[in-house]
Structure 1
Amino acid sequence: MFHLCYLFLLLSPVKSNGENITTFPAILIFGDSTVDTGNNNYLTTAVKANHYPYGKDFPTHFPTGRFSNGKLSVDFLASMLGVKESIPPFVYPGLSTYELVTGVSFASAGTGYDTLTTAMTRVLPMSKQVEYFKSYSERLKKIVGEKEARRIINRALVAVSAGTNDFIFNFYDVPTRRAEFNIYNYQEFILERLHDFVKGCCGTGLLEAGPICTPLTPLCQNSSEYLFFDSIHPSEKAYHYVTECLMKEINDRL
């Protein structure tokens, strides 16, 4: 079965005390229940984890909307990177200035890249999560000013985790898409939706690749801030990051 793992974007190494250390002022999260820290609590949907036993091992021992007995991996990531102890949901009406400045989750349990998925689950589609990110950017500007807001967003760690629900809701359990696709074609369909969400550096980032990504095609200002260089192929930064992960895995096994 197709499974889309985490994608980490906008990795900006910052020099500190002469050493090349990757630091992040904020973490921004997009995706499904694997990274939803409670946004669905505020939606009219049955896809919620605001009840026991969810959250029984969370520091408050109270359900937070996370689909886990405690924290999610993005919470641990934020803690390990020294950003903060956990990631709040963006839809939470009582977000503090500190929480906004250091990052939030826009994710929604039950979502996917296929619009039919959210039509069934009545949660936030990926496109709505992007709209919320734009709203977040405007709120951030009002708090810290335009220049600092741009710095925070440009140096933020962005994590995306989604894709599994598309197969659960649209292919296996409720075979809506099986009338149109076989499993391989549907996987390609979902990857195309992912490309729509994570645009590349070359041109629009949606179509340009190979012969239509040329010296005449407009490029983004800094390709190291992009996961993809063209509409298909990862950027050097992404390749470098994947290689680092592989090297760590190899070294751990030696």
Structure 2
Amino acid sequence: MFWETQLVTILFVFFAKAVIAKSAVPALFAFGDSILDTGNNNNLLAITKCNYPPYGRDFQGGIPTGRCCNGKVPTDLIARSLGIKETVPAYLSSNLSPHDLVTGVCFASAGSGIDDLTATSQGVLPVPAQLGMFRDYIGKVTALVGQQQAADIISNSVYLVSVGNNDIAITYTRLATTLPFPLYAARLIDTTSKFFKNLYGLGARKVWVFSTVPLGCLPGGRTVAGGPLRICAFLENQLAQIFNAQLSSAVNSIRATLPNYDIKFIDVYTPLLNIINNPQPAGFIDVSEACCGTGAYGISGICTLLSVCSNPSTYVFWDFAHPTERAYQFVVSSILHSHTNTNTNTNNVSNSSVNSSSLLS
């Protein structure tokens, strides 16, 4: 038994070395909210859950994995485009393999945010708890492949972070309206900056910080404040823009302060808004309704088998707050084009590959 354990350890040390040698990006990790979550809420007593049909109807096998989408989310699409793996499992998954650990996992939790109130009000994982899970991960991967190989994986991997969406759309809009938004946003940015510094302290060096999406253009935002014509809600978009500007500035400041910290602000707001404002060239038909939930076929905003449309690929949004996989593909393609010199197939980014080394310059 001892020798079998030793053999497994040796094999995975060699495997880890092969992973690092094969790619400039051996693994991918994700933190934050439902934009990136691949199923961490499944076994939580959480308000926000996406582990039931028709979620996942276009995922491999048609399985509802906890992704708030009809298929893959940006975590998966970016991992595939970087040549790492097809999908990124949730860290709280009950069947993680050693290969999963070595090539990256997701710590994000749908409904979470920077403000602790955002997560606790929904029973999901606060960002500090996600960082604690990453510390736990470091211990596991170190035991698996050794300290040096674990350090190489951690320092050479890409980290995705998506925060702010729920803090603005849920906590501020509904619970913190007495506080001027610029002050609330500044508090969020201060907490976020500490998170990025803690991530750096744990060895991360390549971090992609997602902006918020255009919150006022989500089907839920249109329903609440878009009027009878369901236009994009101006105020929520304005709040998102204010937050994004502060977030971008904070990221630039952190990058200038900490040595060898390749932390990037990733504009998700603009490419998604471009699709919403000009959907026809990309083949989208409906931008204001959701395929499932608050869309034309929706029942009280709840995504059910009875409320789903027949062709999600023509919708920008899957449910009241989340894009379809196809919309995500266009957004991810735009992100990769902005940060690489590689031509990516816009219509099928999940099946494309990019030069990951240029992405890290």
Range of TM-score over shorter length: 0.7 to 0.9
> Residue 54 of structure 1 corresponds to which residue in structure 2?
55
> Residue 194 of structure 1 corresponds to which residue in structure 2?
192
CA–CA distance in structure 2, aligned partners of residues 153 and 89 of structure 1: 17
- 2:185 matched to 1:184? no
User: What's the CA shift for 1:225?
Assistant: 5.5
CA–CA distance in structure 2, aligned partners of residues 116 and 178 of structure 1: 14
Write out aligned runs for 1:90-239 (5 A). Answer: 90-172=91-173, 174=174, 176-179=175-178, 181-199=179-197, 233-235=253-255, 237-238=262-263
SS of the residue 1:40 aligns to: coil
- In structure 2, the CA distance between the partners of 1:26 and 1:117, relative to structure 1 (3 Å rule), is same
- In structure 2, the CA distance between the partners of 1:189 and 1:232, relative to structure 1 (3 Å rule), is farther
The answer to whether the Cα contact below 8 Å between 1:113 and 1:194 also exists between their aligned partners in 2 is yes
The answer to whether the Cα contact below 8 Å between 1:115 and 1:125 also exists between their aligned partners in 2 is yes
> Residue 28 of structure 1 corresponds to which residue in structure 2?
29
- In structure 2, the CA distance between the partners of 1:41 and 1:240, relative to structure 1 (3 Å rule), is closer
Paired AA for residue 75 in structure 1: D
CA–CA distance in structure 2, aligned partners of residues 85 and 226 of structure 1: 20
CA–CA distance in structure 2, aligned partners of residues 241 and 166 of structure 1: 18
> Residue 64 of structure 1 corresponds to which residue in structure 2?
65
CA–CA distance in structure 1, aligned partners of residues 26 and 190 of structure 2: 31
The answer to whether the Cα contact below 8 Å between 2:34 and 2:111 also exists between their aligned partners in 1 is yes
CA–CA distance in structure 1, aligned partners of residues 44 and 337 of structure 2: 36
Gaps of 5+ in 2: 1-19, 209-247, 257-261, 268-335, 345-361
- 2:85 matched to 1:84? yes
> Residue 4 of structure 1 corresponds to which residue in structure 2?
none
CA–CA distance in structure 1, aligned partners of residues 36 and 340 of structure 2: 24
Q: Output the aligned Cα RMSD.
A: 3.3
Higher RCO (CA-CA < 8 Å; seq separation 6+) = 1
Relative to the length of structure 2, the TM-score reads 0.52
Gaps of 5+ in 1: 1-14, 206-219
CA–CA distance in structure 1, aligned partners of residues 166 and 58 of structure 2: 25
Paired AA for residue 170 in structure 1: T
Greater fraction helix? 2
Tell me the number of residue pairs that the alignment of Structure 1 and Structure 2 aligns: 211
SS of the residue 1:29 aligns to: strand
The answer to whether the Cα contact below 8 Å between 1:224 and 1:235 also exists between their aligned partners in 2 is no
Relative to the length of structure 1, the TM-score reads 0.73
CA–CA distance in structure 1, aligned partners of residues 176 and 82 of structure 2: 40
Deviations 1:57-87 (A, max 9, x none): 0011110000000000110111111100000
CA–CA distance in structure 2, aligned partners of residues 223 and 142 of structure 1: 18
User: What's the CA shift for 1:44?
Assistant: 1.1
Paired AA for residue 133 in structure 1: F
Deviations 1:108-136 (A, max 9, x none): 00100001111211110000000000000
- In structure 2, the CA distance between the partners of 1:135 and 1:248, relative to structure 1 (3 Å rule), is closer
The answer to whether the Cα contact below 8 Å between 2:32 and 2:161 also exists between their aligned partners in 1 is yes
State the percentage of identical aligned residues: 33
User: What's the CA shift for 1:178?
Assistant: 1.6
User: What's the CA shift for 1:46?
Assistant: 2.1
Paired AA for residue 61 in structure 1: G
Write out aligned runs for 1:1-40 (5 A). Answer: 23-40=24-41
